[in-house]
Amino acid sequence: MDIIQILLNGIVLGALYACIAIGFSLVWGVLNIINMLHGSFIILGGYLTFFAWHYTGINPVLVLPIVALLLFALGYVLQFLFINKVVTAPVLTTLTLTFGLDMILYNLMTVYFTATPRRVTLDLGSISLGDVFLPVDRLLGMGLALILTALLYLVMRGSRIGRAIVAVRMDRQAAELMGIRVNRVYAITFGIGALMAGAAGAIFAMVFPVTTNLTGVFLGKAFVICVIGGLGSVPGALVGGLALGIIESVAGYTIGPQNAITVGFLLMLFLLIVRPTGLVGVKGYE
Amino acid sequence: MMPRTVAICILSVAVYAALLALVPVIGGNYETRIAISVAMFSALALSWNFIGGFTGYPSFSTAAFFGLGSYIGALAQRGGLPAEVAWVVATIGVAGFATILGAIILRLKGHYFAIGSIAIVEVTRLIVSSWGSVTGGGDGLNVPLMQGAPDVVAARVLFIMLFIMLAAFFTSVAVDRSRLGFGLRCINQNEDAADMVGVDTTRYKVASFTLSALFCGLVGAVYASWVGYIDPTDSFSILLTVKVPVMALLGGAGTLAGPIVGAGVFVMLEEFFWANFLQWNRAILGIIIVFLIFFLPGGLLKIQYGRVIQRLSVRFDQWRYREEVN
């Protein structure tokens, strides 16, 4: 059946999308910053995974945690050195600052990695059930993306730092009075955002070719997913990601892939105006 | 602003524009091209200043207006209209678009408005590039070239861009001194309070959004006629949409002459880095932005130069004192 295949493609894509957007959503929700660096973090993760695999032959699934930790360190340092200084400034300032940092990172990547599309080829074959056909590497990517999402959810629910992040997100002043070091929580949150971006990039490199030209595309996806799902929560990003994956897959089939992206953005604008808290968002965080 | 300061400001801008107009007489084609860039970005930054500076809404829609203007202008010219008429059509078209759009998205605030305005750029770009039968899609459009020798055409484009820049500037002065400007500054400081005391916030915001779009559309249409070829990626570039607010911030957002100063300095810096560090051009612009945010948060015009000199001279005295002691 065509329709099952389309839905399945949408779900696989949606799981990856959720992974892309989760870090962005967390940073926006907790720090109140629109992180224009997010797209470049994803591509950086993808490239690092590719080069580690290309030169050493290590299985990319094993490279993924290392790449994620590297990105965490990068995010932590960037936040600590730069973004913490302007974290309470209006959106114009913070957005412009992260855009400036993004230009630097983007330039470094195009010079050292070039813009050649790179992809880890795993050659895992594919499975088919009746008419439905699925490459195994995509299934693997979806599995990894879902595992990462679940892990982050558990960390946010169960760990001390997770609770601290949620507390800061709810009320910065109150959290500060309770003895939470807000600046450190901010830096860790930004680090986690970068970590999730890096991991998403690593997964993407196993499934699709990555190139520096895609930074804007990924950033755009993160915008859309965040608005569809609602800010700063793991379930929100998951719902938003799956919704966008399925919408793009269906729209791509019926009105063409180019228009599918437009549909995503139009839906986002519509939701922004009608329901800015997203499908599963909480009121009061605008 | 005090009447005298405004008078000085108007005078300096007039002198500056006159100097720019002299560039084709003194310099060659290269210098003229830079002068056109300066005038064009000054007009764009002044436009952004209506919504971003006076009203304080973080709009990143500049590229959408610029791109739409260039496409409407190009299509009107291809449809047989003379260039000047096509430019007017583009201006009116973009202004109408912004009025309708503004009524919808100006209900959003802060981060949501910023994201929404960026999304507008993406949506317009995607629609233009997928509507191939009308817009030529990704292949772009050829626009009828202006008649005349290259240097004559360049000088003419420069004069037109300078005219748009001055028009945007004098509109700013008029808005600044009018009821509208006062209302916009109220909205900037506290929108709810402005609403309470009787400022019609929705109408004022839409007016300022439309003003910010109008000149961008005109600039886009003239730009299209000048370069003779447009495509979606160039016309609706995300870089342009961030660069213009950065210019206004560099000079001083919400001031009258700030956007002009910022655009001039930025274009010069960019030209210098393009010429000398081609490979690192983007990173250097990024560094300028980071530097701007940390060290010049109010822009070039808001630095108290007297105090800077005073502090520097104190430092210098201390240093000399230490030298003498040693």
Strand spans (E) along A33-149: 126-129, 132-135
Q: Which residue, among A222, A208, A214, A278, has the nearest Cα to A17 in the 3D structure?
A: A222
Among the partner-chain residues A28, A256, A265, the one whose CB lies closest to the CB of B122 is A265
**pLDDT at A90 exceeding the cut of 90:** no
State residue B194 phi and psi, 5-degree precision: -60, -40
Cα-Cα end-to-end distance for chain A: 42
Q: What is the mean pLDDT of residues B152-165?
A: 92
Q: What is the pLDDT of residue B27?
A: 80
Q: What is the pLDDT of residue A46?
A: 92
Query: At B46, is the pLDDT very low, low, confident or very high (cuts 50, 70, 90)?
Result: very high
Q: What is the pLDDT of residue B165?
A: 95
Q: What is the pLDDT of residue A216?
A: 86
Residue B37, amino acid: S
The model carries a pTM of 0.89
Tell me the shortest Cα–Cα distance from B136 to chain A, in angstroms: 15
Query: At B324, is the pLDDT very low, low, confident or very high (cuts 50, 70, 90)?
Result: confident
**Phi-psi sector, A89: left (phi>0), alpha (psi -120 to 50), beta:** beta
In angstroms and rounded to an integer, the radius of gyration of the C-alpha atoms of chain B is 21
Q: What is the mean pLDDT of residues B242-252?
A: 91
Q: What is the pLDDT of residue A254?
A: 85
Query: At A280, is the pLDDT very low, low, confident or very high (cuts 50, 70, 90)?
Result: low
Query: At B1, is the pLDDT very low, low, confident or very high (cuts 50, 70, 90)?
Result: low
Residue B152, amino acid: V
Mutate to test the interface with A, among B101, B290, B294, B295 (most CBs of A within 10 A): B290
Q: What is the mean pLDDT of residues A71-85?
A: 92
Q: What is the mean pLDDT of residues B233-258?
A: 88
- B202 CB contacts (<8 Å, ≥6 apart)? B103, B106
Query: Which H helix or E strand runs over A175?
Result: helix A172-177
Token output for B33:
């091209």
Residue A238, amino acid: L
Query: At A282, is the pLDDT very low, low, confident or very high (cuts 50, 70, 90)?
Result: low
With CB atoms and an 8 Å threshold, state whether B123 touches A220: no
Q: What is the pLDDT of residue B217?
A: 95
Token output for B23:
């560039």
Q: In this predicted structure, which of B7-16, B67-76, B206-215, B311-320 has the lowest mean pLDDT?
A: B311-320
The whole-angstrom distance between residue A105's C-alpha and the CA centroid of its chain comes to 17
Q: In this predicted structure, which of B148-152, B201-205, B218-222 has the lowest mean pLDDT?
A: B148-152
Q: Is A266 on the interface with B (CB under 8 A)?
A: yes
% of chain A at pLDDT higher than 70: 96
Query: What is the DSSP secondary-structure string of B228-258?
Result: SEE-HHHHT-HHHHHHHHHHHHHH-TTSSSH
Q: Is A97 on the interface with B (CB under 8 A)?
A: yes
With CB atoms and an 8 Å threshold, state whether B280 touches A107: yes
Q: What is the pLDDT of residue A36?
A: 92
Q: What is the mean pLDDT of residues B16-22?
A: 90
At B58-103, the pLDDT tens digits run: 999 999 999 999 999 999 999 888 888 999 999 999 999 999 999 9
With CB atoms and an 8 Å threshold, state whether B105 touches A269: yes
With CB atoms and an 8 Å threshold, state whether A223 touches B283: no
**pLDDT at A117 exceeding the cut of 90:** no
Q: What is the pLDDT of residue B41?
A: 95
Tell me the shortest Cα–Cα distance from A258 to chain B, in angstroms: 7
- A59 CB contacts (<8 Å, ≥6 apart)? A53
Question: Number of residue pairs across A and B with CB atoms under 8 Å?
Answer: 122
Residue window 12-71, chain B: list those with CB within 8 Å of chain A.
52, 56, 58, 60
Residue at token pair 């690092």: A48
More confident residue, A101 or B132: A101
% of chain B at pLDDT higher than 90: 44
Q: What is the pLDDT of residue A285?
A: 39
Q: Is A178 on the interface with B (CB under 8 A)?
A: no
What's chain B's average pLDDT?
Answer: 89
Q: What is the pLDDT of residue A2?
A: 80
Q: What is the pLDDT of residue A139?
A: 87
At A185-241, the pLDDT tens digits run: 999 999 999 999 999 999 999 888 888 888 888 998 998 898 888 777 788 889 899
% of chain B at pLDDT higher than 70: 99
Query: At A283, is the pLDDT very low, low, confident or very high (cuts 50, 70, 90)?
Result: very low
At B260-294, the pLDDT tens digits run: 999 999 999 988 888 888 888 889 889 988 988 88
Q: What is the pLDDT of residue A104?
A: 93
Q: What is the mean pLDDT of residues B190-219?
A: 92
Q: What is the pLDDT of residue B2?
A: 62
State residue A73 phi and psi, 5-degree precision: -60, -45
Q: Is B293 on the interface with A (CB under 8 A)?
A: yes
